[in-house]
């Protein structure tokens, strides 16, 4: 159906049908797929607000799903069966169930939607349970289904997140669940060398990174925070510079706003404090106010994780060597997606986390603690 849809001029590669209460879950999926297909090829209401501000939308919109969308992703939740707009969309979508085009429907489940037999969905129908999955993993599964159906997915050119995200999704299709998405956060000036090294080490393991949003039409801070929330892991690199302070955000830098989004999203946080300066011209704060902001930021970060101290070591290793070794270990075997684990029993959680860290870091000495269901780690470098 995928190739046929292209030949017949199907407008959308993928579309989402969902209850408004689940928008926060669907929005990151739509954004990630838009980076691969383009917004014009993703049927998501926020991407087409001007077009959908029209009379008779209750007739116009459902037909877009049935006639103009190659893969229809339906997010079934406790709210879905009771929503008028979901009912209108599903009335047209369900017509595909009894035809050869039923493969165009992909069912996701968040929570227990209850008895769906009135919608024509029966106990033997298959779902992808997304309740405890990261947005990057869910979107990878959607992309995998698109590839299976022959839906054309253009290669995204250019640097930064888009090329990395395309690689991330392609890697997930080829290699399954081992590919992860890392968000690299650091002040833009003064840390280009460190940022590029992090990109290299991450992509070497077939993961993807997000870090650059120069081509985005959306406001910078909103774009960065949205993509932080869609990631699996958050990497923070801090040297001797706080970053440009945003007056519209209370004087906080973009880097700290990204960190705040990572904490709120519950990502695994990996901070690297550099004890060296590779770019003395741009990498050192000169103003006392900025230096104070950097010190306060470091304290806030340390309240949520145990940063890796990337300074020269007594055993002769340089700060740069500590930095690259720790990043290499993280990329080679990232911690498990702890949000999917049962954290109700702290002892059991500590044991699972300990095993995960031992697997990830081999014979390195690891510090760990449990704070607000976050596991925190630090590579000390001792054998």
- Domain housing 260: 177-334
Residue 172 lies in a domain: no
Predicted local confidence at residue 365, as pLDDT? 34
Q: At what angle do helices 57-68 and 84-93 cross, to 10 degrees?
A: 40
Look up residue 320 and give its two tokens: 């740069």
Residue 340 lies in a domain: no
Which portions of the chain are predicted below pLDDT 70? 1-9, 98, 120, 123-124, 154-179, 211-220, 336-383
Task: Tell me, yes or no, whether 185 and 330 share the same domain.
Answer: yes
Please tell me whether residues 135 and 255 are part of one structural domain: no
Whether residues 188 and 105 fall in one domain? no
Q: What is the pLDDT of residue 178?
A: 60
309 and 199 share one domain: yes
| Number of Cα atoms under 13 Å in the Cβ half of residue 162 | 16
Residues 181 and 330 in one domain: yes
Residue 158 lies in a domain: no
Q: Which pTM was predicted? A: 0.48
Question: pLDDT at position 123, please?
Answer: 67
User: Which of 334, 357, 377 is the endpoint of a domain?
Assistant: 334
Domain count, the chain: 2
* C-alpha dihedral (3, 5, 8, 9), degrees to nearest 10: -110
pLDDT digits (tens, 9 = 90+) for 26-55: 998 998 888 888 889 999 999 999 999 999
| Closest by CA position to 53, among listed 45, 63, 64 | 45
Q: What is the CATH number of the domain that holds 15?
A: 3.40.50.10140
Please tell me whether residues 320 and 232 are part of one structural domain.
yes
For 63-95, the pLDDT digits (tens) are: 898 889 999 898 888 888 778 888 788 877 877
Residue 363: C-alpha distances to residues 44, 335, 360 (Å): 47, 15, 9
């Amino acid at each position: 159906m995928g190739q046929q849809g292209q030949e017949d001029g199907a407008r959308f590669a993928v579309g989402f049908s969902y209850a408004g209460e689940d928008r926060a879950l669907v929005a990151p999926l739509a954004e990630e797929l838009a980076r691969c297909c383009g917004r014009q090829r993703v049927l998501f209401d926020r991407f087409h607000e001007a077009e959908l501000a029209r009379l008779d939308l209750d007739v116009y919109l459902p037909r877009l799903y049935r006639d103009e969308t190659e893969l229809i992703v339906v997010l079934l939740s406790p709210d879905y069966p009771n929503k008028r707009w979901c009912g209108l969309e599903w009335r047209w979508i369900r017509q595909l169930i009894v035809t050869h085009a039923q493969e165009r429907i992909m069912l996701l489940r968040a929570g227990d939607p209850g008895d769906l037999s009135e919608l024509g969905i029966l106990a033997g129908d298959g779902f992808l349970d997304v309740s405890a999955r990261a947005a990057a993993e869910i979107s990878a599964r959607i992309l995998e289904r698109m590839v299976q159906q022959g839906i054309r997915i253009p290669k995204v050119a250019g640097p930064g997140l888009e090329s990395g995200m395309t690689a991330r999704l392609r890697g997930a299709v080829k290699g399954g669940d081992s590919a992860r998405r890392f968000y690299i956060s650091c002040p833009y000036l003064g840390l280009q060398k460190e940022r590029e090294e992090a990109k290299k080490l991450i992509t070497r393991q077939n993961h993807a990174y997000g870090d650059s949003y120069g081509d985005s039409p959306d406001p910078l801070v909103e774009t960065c925070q949205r993509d932080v929330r869609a990631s699996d892991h958050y990497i923070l690199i801090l040297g001797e510079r706080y970053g440009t302070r945003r007056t519209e955000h209370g004087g906080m830098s973009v880097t700290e706003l990204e960190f705040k989004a990572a904490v709120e999203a519950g990502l695994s946080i990996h901070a690297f404090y550099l004890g060296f300066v590779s770019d003395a011209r741009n990498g050192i704060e000169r103003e006392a106010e900025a230096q104070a902001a950097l010190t306060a930021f470091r304290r806030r970060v340390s309240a949520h994780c145990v940063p890796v101290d990337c300074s020269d070591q007594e055993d002769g290793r340089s700060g740069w060597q500590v930095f690259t070794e720790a990043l290499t270990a993280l990329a080679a075997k990232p911690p498990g997606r702890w949000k999917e684990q049962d954290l109700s029993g702290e002892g059991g959680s500590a044991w699972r986390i300990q095993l995960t860290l031992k697997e990830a870091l081999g014979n390195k000495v690891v510090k760990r603690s449990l704070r607000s269901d976050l596991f925190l780690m630090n590579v000390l470098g001792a054998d």
